Structure 1
């Protein structure tokens, strides 16, 4: 990695708990005020096909404010990501570390594979069988 890259990572690590707390706070605000603007999925905008994380931001925001029915209807991983964000925020606040010590690459790979399987199932239901597995937006 280049020297500039290492400096950027050190600066990011120094922000410690601010990043997870900021992301969690922003999503709570989005959950309380769903009309706030957000980012649109570029893949869905270009192709009309939702990506594996489409509706995940709204589902996480809904989970953080206790609307679990809405969250699961949008994306099943929303409550999981909300719990992960809360744990990450508390861990970062307690230790001052941006990256938790217990987090390993295999954990991220496993979650990524589960996310892809969930997405493939939704795609199969929507485009293969004709059942609406994605929310109408």
Structure 2
């Protein structure tokens, strides 16, 4: 690798811990101004079927600005993800590490399984029973 490449990687490593803070700040801004543009779910755009994380960004943004009722209607994991982002931001700033030492692969697998179970329940309610489990927007 070239010297310029190594320098760029060192700079990125120093700035890495600011990533969670930037993401949290962006979501706070989105929570304060919901009309700001954002990215939509490609799966839902192509098929009309929401993915396991559909509405999670809006729910997290609403949670970060204290609108927990709106957040839970959008996605039950919104307040949990908001709390996790705040903790991650503080830990990254304190330790200077982007990825906390306590985070293991099994934690990510557990979160993935919980998201899939929640999504399967919402899909079953919406498409199986006919109850509206996803927001209309």
**So what's the TM-score if we normalise by structure 2?**
0.92
CA RMSD, Structure 1 to Structure 2 (Å): 1.8
- What residue in structure 1 maps to residue 121 of structure 2? 121
User: Deviation at 1:17?
Assistant: 2.3
Contact 1:125/1:131 (CA < 8 Å) preserved in 2?
yes
Distance 1:63 1:14 in 2: 29
Unaligned runs of 5+ in 2: none
From the CA coordinates, give the structure whose radius of gyration is larger.
2
Unaligned runs of 5+ in 1: none
Distance 1:24 1:78 in 2: 13
Distance 1:98 1:13 in 2: 8
User: Deviation at 1:11?
Assistant: 5.3
- What residue in structure 2 maps to residue 27 of structure 1? 27
**So what's the TM-score if we normalise by structure 1?**
0.92
Contact 1:72/1:79 (CA < 8 Å) preserved in 2?
yes
- Cα 1:58–1:9 change in 2 (3 A) is farther
